Chain A
Amino acid sequence: MTTAGSTTDRADDRSRVEERPASAAPLLELRGITKRFGAVQALTDVDLVVPAGQVTALVGDNGAGKSVLIKCIAGIHHPDGGQIYWEGRPVHLRTPRDAAALGIETVYQDLALCDNLDIVQNMFLGREKTRYTLLDEENMELSARETLSSLSVTTVRSIRQPVASLSGGQRQAVAIARAVLWNSKLVIMDEPTAALGVAQTRMVLDLVRRLAQRGLGVIIISHNMNDVFEVADRIAILHLGHLVATGPISEFDRETVVDYMAFGRSERRKRNSEPTVAEQ
């Protein structure tokens, strides 16, 4: 059975999906996702399981299709083929709002923050609380403060500073906190540490771990093998639009992952589980 910790096997999954109780269903499951842009085949038959309470690292070379894949999950792109299952139910994500309604939040590579607004205003942008049609600043500030302190990244005194005055890591933290504020169940991050220094990367990775501890599912795209091995519970490797390997991080080492990323296969995989789709 496909539960957190075992390697995906497509044929097995498909035969058993109907008899699976809803509670055992993974948070998110992709089956046979295909996406074309004209002549470019960005994704081919991608199967992926994203369990709750775990960090799934999505890796691959430039142009492998990582961003396209998460945009399909975030409702920005519409797959040409395949099916997305959310908590075991098939879903159609037509817009980012559909995804948000399910509890899927995306933290974008180019942080979607407004420099001229403060932390609270950014966290609530688009979903402001109001009282008699006027903005309820106190209420929003209290919620924002609570969320930030539950992630241990808060100060009560600087929560009203414009995000323009924050460091890169702090901005990333605000963007992540913004995603968490909405009782989201799955947080997707596209290269959250790409532009950060060592200490700031630390802070963001800690934050990512804390999200998983809270029971959220996390998908994190990263180019940095150190980050991946530090933070991830599971790994999924894309190569030219194919998902060439996926499974618990313990079954992989750096060389294996690099092999998969570069060539789409590896001779070195630790053989303690069933073969992956691509190897069959």
Chain B
Amino acid sequence: MSQIDDDRLVTDAEVEEGATDFSALPVPAELVADSLPAYARAWFARLRAGETGKLPVLVGLLIIAVIFQTLNSKFLTAGNLVNLLVQGAVYMLLAMAEVYVLLLGEIDLSAGFVAGIGGVVCAELVKTDTGWPWWAAVAAALGVCAVIGLFQGTIITRFGLPSFVVTLAGLLGFQGVMLRIIGTGGTLPIQDKVINDLANANLTATASWIVMAGIVAAFCAVTWLRDARRRKSGLVAPPASFTFVKIAAAIGAGVIVVLICNRDRGVLAPIRGVPWVILIVLGVLTAWTLVLGRTKLGRYIYAIGGNAEAARRAGVSLPGIRTIAFMLASFTAGIAGIIYASRLRSVSTNLDGGTLVLYAVAAAVIGGTSLFGGRGKPIDAVLGGIVIAAIDNGMGLQGFSAASKFIVTAIVLIAAVTIDSLARRGTTTRR
């Protein structure tokens, strides 16, 4: 039995006798389980109810890793793994941009070239004859991107136009603007050291340990305090043992990442340490997870994606929230664009914003974000971005052409949405 057939909401007394029944509900496991075994049961119940969570994408990653490792033993080396994450950073960031609008049931096709504009503005401003400091250039580039998002969002909401069409126009228009700015040379080189370091520099090995320890400690503290507060207020809280498991997992993940990153991956000179760009992705992930999960703005974005009419009747300003979501999407695209430019130490007319944005949407969807709105998280975008980067990287190692990469990515995308929809079919969820 996977749902309450009872016609009343269940009373407290029934909860006491029938606690195991509750583990059959598609409820977040940590809210119904008070011991680790109960947690595991709740988790499996959710799985059976079609709430597969992050499982498909994690299993997918495992399969991809096994396949590419058997094909080429270089795939799982420290050097290649770090390389893969750095290559994937742009997809992850762009996919996080896309999550904002996908949650509304909208799409932003312009994100790739808005990223291009971000990169170009930044590159122009740090040129020696313009001479802006790197931080001012970054701020200006992100500001321009945010204004673009505000503009597109306003057109979409005030005139009630489909985001598909408006951002398709954006895709074409901003490509034109980008090409115009880059000009006839075809390439805009970047000399600024800090900008180039964003995607290419690493922390020292010691700094890597210190920074990762700081991040993990912060995560553990927040997790512990939150669970402890729930326990104290008499709300259903995860068992302390489960909090410990989460904390142990975070520490383990932090240690593994630093160990991998601190292995020497240089060819001529030694290269080691956690790349800056991983921290940038982590920072954006944390910020957007906080905004979407813990602020009114985020709550309203989910509400609009779930039932726009309900949100409107609850007093939520639909045009306002939608416009802000488009603005945040373009802002995030701007971050992706700066990282893209930094990685290549230039921006050129080769920047293909069309392919970039389609990869970004694919990454978000592979990670578990719904195209119909209301379901998805920034972490989906990061995991999906890793999948796409892994395919790209693994097939590149094997010397496959771009053509084969596209085809395999397409198959993975279709597989991801099929698994998700099959898992949800016949579940209690009415979407």
B-binding residues in A (CB < 8 A) = 96-97, 100, 108, 110-117, 121-122, 125-128, 130, 133-135, 138, 141-142, 145, 148-149, 152-158, 160-162, 164-167, 169-170, 173, 197, 199-200, 202-203
Contacts and interface: CB of A to CB of B under 8 A. Distances in A.
Nearest to B376: A116
A113 B431 CA distance: 13
Given A161-B27, A165-B49, 7 more contacts: A114-B306, A125-B299, A138-B233, A156-B236, A157-B236, A162-B429, A203-B7
Given A157-B31, A158-B22, A162-B26, A133 B295 contact: yes
A157 B38 CA distance: 13
Given A116-B374, A128-B299, A170-B4, A164 B31 contact: no
A135 B291 CA distance: 10
Interface string B219-250: 00000000001100111100000000000000
A141 B94 CA distance: 34
Q: Which of B236, B290, B316 is the most central at the interface, judged by chain A CB atoms within 10 Å of its CB?
A: B236
A7 B276 CA distance: 77
B311 interface: yes
B303 A114 contact: yes
B314 interface: yes
A155 B9 contact: yes
A58 to B, nearest CB: 20
B8 interface: yes
Contact of A199 (B7, B31, B32, B375): B7
Contacts of A112: 307, 309-310, 313-314
B260 to A, nearest CB: 33
B9 A173 contact: yes
A48 to B, nearest CB: 23
Interface residues of B, number: 50
Contacts of B313: 96, 108, 112
Most B CB contacts (10 A, CB to CB) among A117, A126, A138 go to A126
Contacts of B429: 115, 162, 164-165
B294 to A, nearest CB: 5
Contacts of A128: 296, 299
B3 interface: yes
Given A156-B236, A167-B4, A203-B8, A116 B305 contact: yes
Nearest to B310: A112
B315 interface: yes
Contacts of A115: 306-307, 374, 429-431
Interface stretch (B10-18, B147-155, B279-287): B10-18
Contact of B26 (A114, A127, A165): A165
Interface of B: 3-12, 14-15, 19, 22, 25-28, 31-32, 49, 229-230, 233-236, 290, 294-296, 299, 302-303, 305-307, 309-311, 313-316, 374-375, 428-431
B33 to A, nearest CB: 10
Given A115-B306, A167-B4, A125 B28 contact: no
B382 to A, nearest CB: 21
The interface centre, meaning the residue of B10, B310, B315, B316 with most chain A CB atoms within 10 A of its CB, is B310
Given A114-B374, A170-B9, A203-B7, A160 B305 contact: no
Nearest to B103: A116
B31 A116 contact: no
Closest 8 CB pairs of A and B: A126-B314, A114-B306, A116-B306, A199-B7, A116-B374, A112-B310, A126-B315, A125-B314
Contacts of B27: 157-158, 160-161, 165
Contacts, number: 145
Among B4, B49, B305, which residue has the most Cβ atoms of chain A within 10 A?
B4
Given A142-B235, A164-B428, A155 B10 contact: yes
Contact of A161 (B25, B235, B296): B25
Given A125-B314, A126-B314, A158 B4 contact: yes
B408 to A, nearest CB: 32
Contact of A142 (B5, B31, B233): B233
A97 B19 CA distance: 41
Given A134-B295, A164-B431, A170-B4, A125 B303 contact: yes
A160 B9 CA distance: 13
Contacts of B22: 157-158
A97 B236 CA distance: 34
Contacts of A166: 4
B26 A161 contact: yes
A154 B315 contact: no
Given A114-B306, A116-B306, A141-B235, A121 B299 contact: yes
B294 A165 contact: no
Q: Which of B31, B233, B295, B306 has the most CB atoms of chain A within a 10 A radius of its CB? A: B306
Contacts of B296: 128, 130, 135
B7 A197 contact: yes
Contacts of A134: 290, 294-295
Nearest to B316: A126
A125 B6 CA distance: 26
20 contacts: A110-B309, A111-B310, A112-B314, A114-B307, A115-B374, A116-B302, A116-B306, A117-B302, A121-B303, A126-B314, A138-B230, A142-B235, A154-B11, A155-B14, A162-B429, A164-B430, A170-B4, A173-B8, A173-B9, A202-B7
